């Protein structure tokens, strides 16, 4: 069940276009629409990112990334959209020695044994590329490293989105983008039938406004600009202060 205080702010924002959405009977519907809209926003803009790091163990090429991201207040707070970048440094090197590992998909045609799947079992002293298994949320290093690298031989930047069953969301969604996201949520709600606020025509207009803003936000991300680039903590989630969600 969603936190009532959490929903109140979104209710006020969406109610500008959807009269009656603040009715208690619509709380579940509102939560579902907020979650769906935020998942869409994150997938299309890649603006929510989180950095992880871990030791590389000789002989191990699979690393479960989903185990490295915060999952509070429940077990489905965040899903991984994609792995934006992976960097590697040799054992004992300083943090300024990281080098980029290209994704495997960019050069898979040159991988020996790719047609038989044998490429997963090739070994080498250090990895040169990575592959992200979306179904398993697992990072695969290629070739399988024969050498350890610690501490933090790998740094990876993950693009996140709220999980399918998330019941609360990072504060920055509301603090930084409540107006734009509120329009998107309202646009979807207005296109539902048989609701007090149903208005398909206005919903399409507001949906186009949201889509235009998403395109602009994505462009700014690709050009290296975002409204804010900082680490955002989760005081209402509890958990370790050492874990940061970055936006």
Return the closest-CA partner of residue 143 out of 58, 52, 53, 55. Answer: 58
For residue 4, the Cα-to-chain-centroid distance in whole angstroms is: 24
C-alpha distance from residue 26 to each of 19, 102, 178, 186, 189 (Å): 11, 46, 19, 13, 11
SS3 45: helix
Average pLDDT per block of 10 residues along the chain, 247 residues long: 65 95 93 95 93 97 91 74 97 96 70 62 94 92 96 96 87 90 97 97 98 92 57 33 36
Chain position carrying tokens 């429940």:
74
Q: How far apart are CA 84 and CA 101, in angstroms?
A: 11
HEC states along 188-244?
A: HHHCCCCCCCCCHHHHHHHHHHHHHHHHHHHHHHHCCCCCCCCEECCHHHCCCCCCC
Strand partners, 88: 99, 154
CB-based contact 89:99 (threshold 8 Å): yes
Per-residue pLDDT, 221: 80
Q: How far apart are CA 185 and CA 190, in angstroms?
A: 9
CB-based contact 244:170 (threshold 8 Å): no
Chain position carrying tokens 């209402």:
236
Chain position carrying tokens 């926003």:
41
Return the closest-CA partner of residue 230 out of 48, 38, 40, 42. Answer: 48
* DSSP E strands, 89-124: 99-100, 123-124
CB-based contact 214:47 (threshold 8 Å): no
């Amino acid at each position: 069940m969603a936190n009532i205080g959490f929903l109140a702010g979104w209710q006020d924002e969406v109610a500008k276009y959807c009269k009656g959405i603040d009715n208690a009977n619509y709380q579940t519907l509102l939560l579902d629409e907020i979650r769906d809209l935020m998942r869409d926003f994150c997938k299309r803009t890649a603006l929510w990112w989180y950095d992880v790091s871990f030791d590389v163990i000789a002989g191990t090429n699979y690393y479960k990334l989903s185990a490295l991201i915060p999952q509070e207040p429940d077990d489905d707070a965040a899903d991984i959209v994609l792995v934006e970048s992976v960097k590697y440094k040799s054992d004992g090197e300083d943090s300024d020695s990281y080098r980029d590992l290209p994704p495997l998909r960019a050069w898979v045609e040159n991988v020996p044994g790719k047609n038989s799947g044998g490429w997963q079992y090739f070994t080498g002293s250090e990895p040169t590329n990575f592959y992200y298994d979306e179904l398993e949320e697992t990072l695969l290093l290629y070739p399988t490293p024969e050498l350890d690298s610690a501490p933090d031989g790998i740094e990876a930047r993950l693009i996140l989105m709220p999980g399918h069953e998330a019941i609360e969301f990072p504060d920055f969604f509301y603090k930084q983008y409540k107006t734009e996201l509120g329009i998107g949520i309202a646009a979807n709600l207005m296109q539902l039938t048989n609701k007090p606020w149903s208005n398909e025509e206005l919903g399409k207009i507001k949906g186009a406004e949201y889509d235009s803003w998403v395109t602009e936000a994505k462009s700014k991300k690709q050009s290296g600009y975002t409204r804010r680039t900082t680490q955002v903590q989760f005081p209402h989630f509890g958990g370790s202060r050492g874990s940061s969600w970055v936006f």
